[in-house]
Structure 1
Amino acid sequence: MTKSVTSDDKKGRVYGGENLEERRTRRRQQFLDAGLQVFGTLGYRAATVRILCKQAELTDRYFYESFDTTEDLLMGVYRQQCEALAQCVVVALATAGSDTDFMSAIEAGLDAVFTHVSDPRVARVIWIEVLGVSPRVDKMYNDTMDGFGNLVMNVARQRFDDLGTKDQDEIRMVGLALAGAVSQCVLHWVLGGYRESKATMVSATSRVFRGLMSTLPP
């Protein structure tokens, strides 16, 4: 789809200290912020371009400047929130330090996960609203879960040198199993209205890590 461009944008003028590209980037982020709010509260299937534009305080021509459909926006919001979540985990692991024992590092990472998804909008977008939307969204979701599983096992490889010599297909599936366990616990936590404490969630999921890691093939 051809993106709508205003006459001011065609001229590439600087307004309010922003050039053309900066204005487009800002407007795109406004829609990503609006998508998080609308998809994370009202829900993706109830969202319309009109509702999203109202939330973003922009017109529909600016929506189509960055996104062809609401599904494209959903994917953009999902990717941005997953990147933010992954970054929180990476920072937590880096703060823990490479000399920290594996389980202490994992607990730091899990604490970062449950802190980040304490925002129900984020949790709803990542774990609920993307499910069953379309084959390409399903693929994005599955690829992201693979990525989180790989992140876990990369941490393990840094602390257990012999993991590099084991069956890597099995190691990959172990990582996916761990990511899936955390994912299911997050989903339960959100749908249950955050009934359990964050400390309980970290403690419970860390036990899964401890148990499954101990079963890796010799």
Structure 2
Amino acid sequence: MTGAGRRPRGRRFALSGAGEAEHSAGWWSTSGLDECQDVQVETRSLRVYGGVTGQDRRSDRRAQLLAAGYDLLAGVGGEFSVRGVCKQAGLTARYFYENFADRDALAVAVYDGVIEDIVTATLAAVDAAPANARAKVGAGLAVLVSRIRDDPRRGRLLFAHDLGATPVVARRRVESTRRFVRLLAGQARAFHDDARPEVAAELLVGGLAQVLTAWLDGDLVISESDLVCRCTDYFVAVGRLV
């Protein structure tokens, strides 16, 4: 029997169940309580409310943060900061850090998402085009240009000079340029088995970036169809020299 107000003496359990070292810490071990609380919080966050699962709510919050980050990184709205993104998304900082380690991690996710969208659409157009160089180049360039024209934020992320001064964006631009060079070189090899297209691919990708920057800035006055046609001419002409 135990007296009133006294805890029963008995076996002590470490809540985390991780071994003898935790048993020696006693039944009041805070590490075990923390883990138990974490599980309870996670369980609550994954419950179904209004027919929406916790995972769906979390995915929705991530999409809201990405959309807000896209706007602010591209210069549409306020400052690109954790506070600014949360305000734009209508979420608290807790939900920001649920998805991203910091502002740079969000910038990388936004930029990579834009590049992936462009690459996927461009390659789909190239694959669907007739099996000749001009048709494939023209199809790829048409999709690339229309993708940038349809959403000016894409053009800013890829080419705006002020964003190029941001270290994380500058690094991603270099990496995405390398990716486009590899893709173009791979397409060239599909038509010329003995081709060494690396120099030509560097020249064409770099030159295209300059042309698109001038076009988006209004320094190059030319219709979209003429732009695609002329760039296709240059790509095909250089391809013959590879």
Asked if Structure 1 and Structure 2 have the same fold, meaning a TM-score greater than 0.5 normalized by the shorter chain, the answer is yes
Q: Distance in 1 between matches of 2:200 and 2:237?
A: 11
Name which one, 1 or 2, has greater alpha-carbon Rg.
2
Residue 193 of structure 2 is matched in structure 1 by 161
Residues 11-20 or 103-112, more deviating: 11-20
Deviations 1:136-190 (A, max 9, x none): 5433221210111111121122222222xx4xxxx22321221111111121122
Return the offset for 1:106: 0.2
What's the TM-score, normalizing by structure 2?
A: 0.74
Residue 182 of structure 2 is matched in structure 1 by 150
Whether 1:178 and 2:204 are equivalent positions in the alignment is yes
Q: Which consecutive residues of structure 1, in runs of 5 or more, have no partner in the other structure?
A: none
Whether 1:54 and 2:80 are equivalent positions in the alignment is no
Q: Distance in 2 between matches of 1:16 and 1:202?
A: 49
Instruction: State, as a whole percentage, how many aligned pairs show the same letter.
Output: 28
Alpha carbons 1:89, 1:109 under 8 Å: kept: yes
Alpha carbons 2:69, 2:110 under 8 Å: kept: yes
Q: Distance in 1 between matches of 2:49 and 2:148?
A: 37
Whether 1:127 and 2:159 are equivalent positions in the alignment is yes
Whether 1:207 and 2:233 are equivalent positions in the alignment is yes
Alpha carbons 1:123, 1:190 under 8 Å: kept: yes
Query: Of 139, 150, 159, which aligns to 2:171?
Result: 139
Which amino acid is 1:36 matched to? Y
RMSD: 2.5
Q: Distance in 2 between matches of 1:208 and 1:23?
A: 48
Which amino acid is 2:48 matched to? V
Alpha carbons 2:118, 2:144 under 8 Å: kept: yes
Q: Distance in 1 between matches of 2:56 and 2:203?
A: 41
What's the TM-score, normalizing by structure 1?
A: 0.81
Q: Distance in 2 between matches of 1:39 and 1:93?
A: 30
Residue 54 of structure 2 is matched in structure 1 by 20
Decide whether aligned partners of structure 1 residues 115 and 52 sit closer, same or farther in structure 2, where only a CA change above 3 A counts.
Answer: same
Q: How many residues align?
A: 202
Alpha carbons 1:74, 1:130 under 8 Å: kept: no
Q: Which has the higher contact order (CA 8 A, sep 6+)?
A: 1
Return the offset for 1:24: 2.3
Q: Distance in 1 between matches of 2:221 and 2:111?
A: 25
Residue 188 of structure 1 is matched in structure 2 by 214
Alpha carbons 2:145, 2:228 under 8 Å: kept: yes
Query: Of 141, 145, 148, which aligns to 1:114?
Result: 145
Residues 71-80 or 22-31, more deviating: 22-31
Return the offset for 1:9: 4.2
